[in-house]
Amino acid sequence: MSNKKTKVSVRLHPAETNALPMAEIRMILRGADSIIAKGGRTLLCRILKGSKEKKVLEFKLDQNPAYGYLRELANEEILGKIDWLIGHAFLDYEYFGRLPLLVYCPEGWEIEKETYTDELLGRFCKMIEVGDTSFDFTQLKDRDRGMIFLLLEKIRTRGDVRFVSLLNSWAKVDYKKVQERIHSVIHSLQSRTG
C-alpha cells in the first residue's frame, strides 16, 4: 500500500466580470497577506466575509484590515472574486504538501506592498502627531526587505523630522542592513532641517 497522499484539487470559478475595481483588488490582496503560504481560498473567503469561525478568531484573522470587507456578498461571489485574482495573476496557489495555499504573484505583491506601506505610514503619522513611539517594531523584523525599504523611502520623502524618534525606536530592534537604512533616513531628515 502506498503512503502517497493525494493533493487536494482546486477548481476555480472566476467572477464573470471584465475587471474588479482596484479598491477591491487591494482589499482582497490585503486580506490574503495574513495567510500567504498558510491558508487557501476558503480561509481568505472567510476573512473577507467576516466569519466568526473558530479558526478565524483563533489565528486573530479578525484583526486583518480586510476582515468583513465583502460581508454583504455570498461565499460563492467572494470565491469568484478571489478566483478572478488568481486567473489574472495577482494571486496564485502552490502546493505545500497536499494542500494548495495562496501566494502572491509579482503584480499582486507590488500592489500589496504599496497598500501595506501606505497603511503603516498612515499609522506612523498618527503616532507622531500624538508623540507615541510605542509601536512593536519586532513585527516588521522578518517582513520582506523590499517592502521595509519602500516604507523607509516613503518616510524619507515626507521629510518630517518628527519621524526621528520613531525611527530610533525601530533601529534598536531590527537587523543591521535595515538599521543602516534607518540611520540613512534619519540623517536625511535631520539634514533637511539644518
Q: Is residue 120 included in any domain, yes or no?
A: yes
Grid cell for residue 16? 464573470
- Give the three-class secondary structure for 129: helix
Choosing from 104, 136, 160, the residue where a domain stops is 104
Q: Using an 8 Å Cβ cutoff, are 152 and 120 in contact?
A: no
Mean pLDDT confidence for 178-183: 98
Round the CA-based radius of gyration of the chain to a whole number and report it: 19
Please indicate whether residue 87 or residue 16 has the higher confidence score (pLDDT): 87
Please name the residue ranges forming H helices in 37-175: 41-49, 54-58, 75-87, 106-130, 145-158, 164-171
Choosing from 66, 85, 104, the residue where a domain stops is 104
Of the chain, the percentage scoring pLDDT greater than 90 comes to 85
The reported pLDDT for the residue numbered 3 is 55
Pair (185, 145) in one structural domain: yes
Confidence of residue 17 (pLDDT cuts 50, 70, 90): low
Choosing from 46, 75, 104, the residue where a domain stops is 104
- Which of 83, 103, 101 shows the shortest CA–CA distance to 8? 101
Pair (62, 119) in one structural domain: no
Mean pLDDT, the chain, rounded, equals: 93
* Predicted TM-score of the model (pTM): 0.89
Domain span at residue 74 reads 22-104
